[in-house]
Amino acid sequence: MPLSADCRALIDALSMPVFVVHGDGSLEWLNRRARQLLAGSAPQSIKSLLASPSQSDAFLRVMRRNQSFSHLALHLRAPLQDSYIASTRIAREGEFLDCWLLELLPRQLVVGGMHQLSQMIQRTTALKRERAVAEKTAQLALTQASRDSLTGIANRRAFDECLAAALVKADQQQDWLSVMIVDLDYFKAINDTHGHDLGDQVLQRVARLLSGTLTRRGDQVARIGGEEFGVLLPGADVHASLKVAWRLVMTLRQYNAGCPAGDSWHPVTLSVGVATRCPDQSISGRDLMRQADRGLYLAKERGRDQAVHAVPSAQTDPPLADTR
């Protein structure tokens, strides 16, 4: 079915040369600009327009797939030698099937545009790569800034940030929040007697033990001072937080008992102070940590190697489930 008069009129009005070609390569029609360019000649096939007619089959395969940019390597005969072919399929049901518009564009403009596009893509790719490297570097720096260099766990800065976020979340959800301050008993004597290298090893192992003992998602442990660790327990009430505190104490006791002879480990115990914020209580993170520090002072005063809650009425003896 030939092109309708309306289609021909529309294509004829285009300022660029346009050829209407069938899938077999036969030319259906040329618009006014194409006829002017060919000075009245009427080619019957796309093969007659190609500088290398043997390429016609390959060209037709590319054209049928609408792979316009693949035509860039194709050269036309004079006076079309400075043009570049871009193909567009116009198969429209009820009017014309398996027909393509071959538009001739200035090759110099297209090649230059492709070169600029290629350069733009290269620059964009380079910028994306640089941005990815910068983001990775920034993330690494942020991670390093929030980690304790000796133990590898979170540091005081990260703990304070987590505590502030946990307070906001507890307010929003009207939930419990508990904190602990964990201190290594007589740690200065270890450094003074056995040296700082052994002291560093003790801190590293304790950090691993504390991290491994906290199994709930959201719990956080950090080194907040020389031999002090902070523990954050979102959603834990007085009883639950004390239970976790005694589990930490008992874990270290069991580790001391099971450590083989000749190991570089030096037995050490923990004193733990615990403080809890009730759902309806308004208290700052600093005041909550002060309460935990008060509990730690009581644990030290009562002989160390134990956990004490800052609230006087709280249970201070180890829960039975944690002493077996």
Comparing CA positions, the residue from 50, 57, 54 lying closest to residue 85 is 50
**Sole residue written with tokens 């003790």:** 202
Comparing CA positions, the residue from 55, 49, 3 lying closest to residue 26 is 49
Find the DSSP H helices in the chain.
5-12, 32-37, 56-64, 107-145, 156-173, 187-194, 196-213, 238-258, 285-301
* Residues in contact with 85: Cβ distance below 8 Å, sequence separation at least 6, in sequence order: 71, 74, 76, 102, 103, 104, 105
Residue 161 is a catalytic residue: no
- ω into 79 cis (within 30 of 0): yes
| CB contact at 8 A, 140 and 54 | no
Lateral strand order in the sheet of 27-30: 27-30, 18-22, 99-106, 83-89
Could you give the CA distance from residue 262 to residue 100 in angstroms, rounded to a whole number? 86
Q: Which residue in 28, 227, 228, 301 is the catalytic one?
A: 227
Comparing CA positions, the residue from 71, 106, 88, 104 lying closest to residue 7 is 88
Active site residue ranges: 227
